[in-house]
Amino acid sequence: MQRRSFFAGCAALGVVGTAAALGGRYMGGNATRAATPTLGDGVNGPKGMVWLPGGQFLMGNASKQAQPNELPAHPVHVSGYWIDLYDVTNADFARFVAATGYRSTAEQAPRWEDLRLQLPPGTAEPDPATLVPGGMVFTGTRAPVQLSDWARWWAYVPGADWRHPLGPDSSIAGLDRNPVTQVSHADAVAYATWAGKRLPTEAQWEFAARGGLEQAEYAWGNEFAPGGKRMANSWDDQARQFPVLEDEKVQVGTMPVGSYPANGYGLYDMSGNVWQWCADWYRIDAFSLVAGARPPRDPLGPVHSFDTDDGDVPPNAPKRVMRGGSFLCSEDYCTSFRTSARRGTDPNTSMSHLGFRTVMTQDDWLRLKRPAARRS
């Protein structure tokens, strides 16, 4: 039995520059007053992470492109925190697995008690023999199709996991610097905990993605391809029509982290390449629930999920937020590479375009340093 029927709608789916400089160069929105971020060196901050001093910003979107779940734009304050320069890579995740022996969600058979939460009440339990380890893989189509049924270009592939992101015959050999994929929310949390880090809250993620540009559509500004230059790994509508894959000369898939320019906070791939898990439960109306009140400080998101826009999936089915879009986002089909775009996905889902990055507070960093100091 294919997991795509279980997860209906889950795939409908170096130098730190200043925000002001980016705004001028890429025709971005207004720069915020946040201080210039700094890059950790392993001594004065965690290596490979950027310190964002925090501040107040407008979360969500007030433009004509905004979807209902992005409304309304509302002020939020976040305290300072460290965030990964890049998405977690295959090499990073491999070190975690080597150190812990961890088995990812996709390497284990799905559990009916989890699956039934994503299905209409009364759905019959499948034969246990059909519940085999695997993950969702983008398969594309050989010709243009109606875009109302995502199941035409996605399939549940037995044997797909983080080591074999496209199925048992695929491999991550030579892809150490590509973002890890086929990881569930639990996998991301397990890695973050091992590393002494956390998943970003949705507010932390959006603050970082904006790079200091207030209400800009993209992580780099308001123009999708300034001067004709592509700024993120996303579907190239000029090369092929989504989701057609008949011409294998054109690359479709993840790229090494840092292949495109950083945003104003020096962070790479905050748009495109892979979706990124956040800590929050997903509510379609989360922003409207807090708008008009005193600007929340360091919001943790709702206490449970709620989504009325996912077909036959029960509105209260568990979902976690994912942000940033992926290599499959298209100007003609899915514009989720926009900074305010958000989706909710079953936390047990693993997919070939879904990864994560992590954050730390300053206290997290100091706690991580102390054992090393005592050993020295």
Integer Cα distance of 261 and 366 in angstroms: 30
Pairing of strands 74-84, 359-360: antiparallel
Integer Cα distance of 118 and 111 in angstroms: 12
Looking at residue 306, the DSSP 8-state letter turns out to be B
Q: Are 352 and 160 a contacting pair, CB within 8 Å? A: yes
Written as one letter, the residue type at 46 is: P
The pLDDT score that the predictor gives to residue 238 is: 82
Integer Cα distance of 53 and 34 in angstroms: 7
Q: What beta strand segments (E) does the chain contain?
A: 30-31, 38-39, 49-59, 74-84, 134-138, 154-158, 213-214, 275-281, 320-323, 342-345, 354-355, 359-360
Contacts of 112 (CB under 8 A, 6+ apart): 125, 126, 128, 131
Domain ranges of the chain: 3-375
Written as one letter, the residue type at 367 is: R
The tens-digit pLDDT sequence of the chain (376 residues) is 334 333 333 333 332 332 333 333 333 445 454 557 899 999 999 999 999 999 999 999 989 889 999 999 999 999 999 999 999 999 999 999 999 999 999 999 999 999 999 999 999 999 999 999 999 999 888 888 888 787 888 999 999 999 999 999 999 999 999 999 999 999 999 999 999 999 999 999 999 999 999 999 999 999 999 999 999 999 988 888 888 887 655 568 999 999 999 999 999 999 999 999 999 999 999 999 998 888 999 999 999 999 999 989 999 999 999 999 999 998 878 889 999 999 999 999 999 999 999 999 999 999 998 865 554 4
Looking at domain 3-375, its CATH architecture is: Alpha-Beta Complex (3.90)
Residue listed under structure tokens 């939460």: 117
Residue 132 Cα distances to 110, 111, 112, 161, 169, angstroms: 7, 10, 11, 12, 16
Integer Cα distance of 47 and 41 in angstroms: 5
Q: Are 171 and 42 a contacting pair, CB within 8 Å? A: no
Nearest by Cα to 232 from 23, 47, 17, 26: 26
Looking at residue 138, the DSSP 8-state letter turns out to be E
The pLDDT score that the predictor gives to residue 151 is: 82
At how many degrees (to 10) do helices 90-100 and 185-194 cross? 70
The pLDDT score that the predictor gives to residue 372 is: 58
